[in-house]
Amino acid sequence: MILPILEYPDPRLKKVAAPVRTFTPDIAKLAADMAETMYAAPGIGLAATQVDVHKRVIVMDISEDRNELRVFVNPEIIAAEGEAEGEEGCLSVPGYYDKVARAERVTVRAQDQFGKPFELEAEGLLAVCVQHEMDHLVGKVFVDYLSPLKRARVATRMKKKQKLAG
């Protein structure tokens, strides 16, 4: 099922997601619905916060063929190194892109949608995507890294767009 994506500056994007304690079929269904939503958008990553579900769940697929879905439940970065700056966009801030500095490589510890733990070393686009989506889980959107002036401009542009869409 395709879920509605919250758009910046919706205050619900600021909510901190709660850890998943019990792996029920609802978590697997949430991950599947989030993946369907992400592919339809189209995007390469989506956090549960963006669909107004405040649980620590993210999905991503950076493959060209869109056939390498990754699900991270309760993700945590246990190591980070280097720095890389790249242009980012976000499904919650459609049509806006800007440069953000992130760690170049990260090691993530998480569980899949069934509760099975795993660790993943990520670099490049995957590392950026992991950090970007994990930010959503703590109520942070990539525009929060920008200057207050740029952030205000984006908020104004988004509000105007939302008003026109009515």
**One of 36, 87, 119, 133 is an active-site residue; which one?**
133
State the Cα–Cα distance between residues 87 and 49, nearest whole angstrom: 22
Strands (E), 34-145: 45-47, 57-60, 70-81, 84-90, 93-102, 105-111, 117-123
Scan for tokens 């990553």, then name that residue.
45
Half-sphere exposure of 22 (CA within 13 A, CB side): 3
Respond yes or no: is residue 133 known to be catalytic. yes
So which residues are the catalytic ones? 133
